Structure 1
Amino acid sequence: MKQLMQADHQGLLRFEDIMQPDFTARYPHIVPEKASAILHGQQEDGTLLLGLDVTELAWRSVGQKRWIRLLRWPGIRIVADFCYRIFAKHRYRFSALLTGQAQCEACTLPRTAQEAPSCPLPTIKTTKSAIKSKE
């Protein structure tokens, strides 16, 4: 998330902290527990995206990591989505193995890249032009 925030030079993405008390009032159609299990995104028109569809659109919106589009190709998509579900379910274990830190003890999520913390909480990323949606 931190890399994505830093890549968003035009402010196209908006990040939401699903743990905020007013989250369900603002996004009644998104269950925080489900959003914590799989990345959620919402386009401006209200279309809800999940998992790698969110990841691909977010990176495409900021003009980086174009290779991620390959993960949405037919055939590859099925395998990539399966792998993503495994990763999402065990993301804290993967994080601990790769970084030595399973998750943040206490941190908050900014709404802009300029306010980026050292470790974001699960989010909904939104974009002004392409998308409205944790690791």
Structure 2
Amino acid sequence: MYNQINLLSKALNASWKRNEVIANNIANVNTPNFKRSDVEFEEILKRYVNGDDLTGVTTHQNHIPIGVRSIADAEHKVVNNGGFSTRRDKNNVDIDVEMAELAKNTITFNTLSTQLNNHFSRLRIAINEGKR
């Protein structure tokens, strides 16, 4: 149960950050030389779930952790997509793509928050029924 709540919280954080990044891309649609950014989380999560990451075991607190060992270590990251430019001013933001991504992310965020609320509702029901 705790893992599911932690996973949903991580996904909500990534979705929230993605919303901020998309809003920044949209705000800079007419800024010359601006390169759009994106948030990576789904691939990081997929590698964690499939166990594809090489993980190291730390035996001392000063050891540097290698790879994603638990869902608590799986964090989203913002990446800059500056490899191409579709316009003369070297800006690579396409407003139609950004608006579609914003709509998709809004649906994702709403779905994740509903799932998390349902989780807490089930916990609340179990606690209240246990009192009887």
| TM-score above 0.5, yes or no | no
> Which one has the bigger helix percentage?
2
> Which one has the bigger strand percentage?
1
Q: How does the TM-score come out when normalised to structure 2?
A: 0.23
